[in-house]
Structure 1
Amino acid sequence: MSATTRTLAEARAWARTGTELMLDAVAGLDEAAFAAPGLLPDWTRKHIVAHTAANADALGNLVHWAATGEETPMYASAEERAAGIAKGAGLTGDELRSWLAASAQRLAAGLDGLTEEQWRREVVTAQGRTVAATELPWMRAREVCVHAVDLGTGVVTFADLPKGFLAALVDEVRARRAPVELPAGPLPEVAAWLTGRPHALTGAPELGPWL
């Protein structure tokens, strides 16, 4: 599957699945486990959860933009984005779980409310890309699916992510990292390698983290 053939319905389903996996992964964490390192350099699990929750709120700004036509950036500034992540270090596990769940629910409700015309409206991402609102569920799916793995709890691995999502992810990241030759191996391991995460492939060159 290529990024050009994935559908809005598929992306929305993957975002829902990723959200459920993320919530399941943090459900049983105590304070010590939340404060432990995740799989991303210099980030604890608290940072990863805060980033994922803040991302839902930021994407909600783009949903508002699509729904109203009122220009609403994802983040007011790079400093605001960093502050949202740093905020997580000072929150308790219960507070982080609540923020993660509530922000995901708000985003889903906002997406549910978009009309066909509003889905086609263009918005601008934090990276400065102009995209149709139909791209927002895919952006969210990437965040929740990959960062659920990044928690490093062992509850979620790339093998637990939907096959269609992994194929679309590999297609997109490969295009952005071009030129890169994909190594032979199972799709979940190739996706892990391509996004710069721990993998079981042998002889594959090391890549820095993506996303």
Structure 2
Amino acid sequence: MTDHAHDLGCVREATERLLAAVAALDDAAVTESSRLPGWSRGHVLAHLARNADALVNVLQGRPMYASGAAREADIERDASRPPEVQLADVRDSTARFLEAGAAPADWSRTVELRGGVTDSAARVPFRRWAEVELHHVDLGIGHELEDLSAEFTEREIDFLARRFAGRPDVPPTRLTDGTRAWHTGRETGDPEVTVAGSRADLLGWLAGRRDGSALDVDGGPLPSLPPL
């Protein structure tokens, strides 16, 4: 059972780590390219701030974003701000999200996210935790997938494996780190492909952060995954 209060605490801790790391950068470093194609580190920070506000909308029953175009325009608008403004925005927007998460609510209710995706309200804090952890890695400032906690890494692999489960464009796939196995892709059809490697490499491939070249694949080629 998802413990939203625990995950809210993890959001707070992950955000504090990210803010401390970014605060150590000089002004020029914040304008440099991130690991995400076409995005500077400023774009990543702007996205993190606007995503926090978007998830407040989700928790309070409003559309996550006014539109896809508005989401992109807000990120572009905020990407070039001075580092101190970026940091304050991430800090303040996270505080608003944590406040919304602390309000009494029916955490079993279904909420709607971007693109018509639905989920239980209780999983929204974990989704925010994933945003903070993965985008901290995307900043390219020394925080790597190997640095993520064992709890987060296992849960995010499980989350992403479930996300791709049943997809007709993903062959039946077994993922394993040698101690645990996950299954994803369509449930019938071709023989199962086994993809083995470290949890960091499995997560990197599932999340689109690594190309999978470090993984061992048996039973067919490494499956192509749709974008997140």
Which structure: greater helix fraction?
Answer: 1
Q: Could you report, residue by residue, the CA deviation over 1:83-118 in whole angstroms, capped at 9, with x for unpaired residues?
A: 121122331111111101100011101111233x3x
Match in the other structure for 1:125? 113
Q: Could you report, residue by residue, the CA deviation over 1:109-140 in whole angstroms, capped at 9, with x for unpaired residues?
A: 1111233x3x2333211121232321210110
Q: TM-score under structure 2 normalisation?
A: 0.78
Change (3 A) 1:210 1:30: farther
The correspondence of residues 10-89 of structure 1 with structure 2, limited to 5 A, is: 10-65=6-61, 72-89=62-79
Change (3 A) 1:139 1:185: same
The two structures, once aligned, show a CA RMSD in angstroms of 2.2
Given candidates 93, 98, 104, the residue that maps to 2:83 is 93
The Cα shift of 1:28 comes to 1.3
1:151 is the counterpart of 2:163: no
For residues 87 and 208 of structure 2, the distance between their equivalents in structure 1, rounded to whole angstroms, comes to 26
Which structure: greater strand fraction?
Answer: 2
The correspondence of residues 1-16 of structure 1 with structure 2, limited to 5 A, is: 5-16=1-12
| Gap runs ≥5 in structure 1 | 66-71
Higher relative contact order (CA 8 A, sep 6+): 1
8 A contact 1:195–1:207 mirrored in 2 = no
Match in the other structure for 1:161? 148
For residues 209 and 36 of structure 1, the distance between their equivalents in structure 2, rounded to whole angstroms, comes to 28
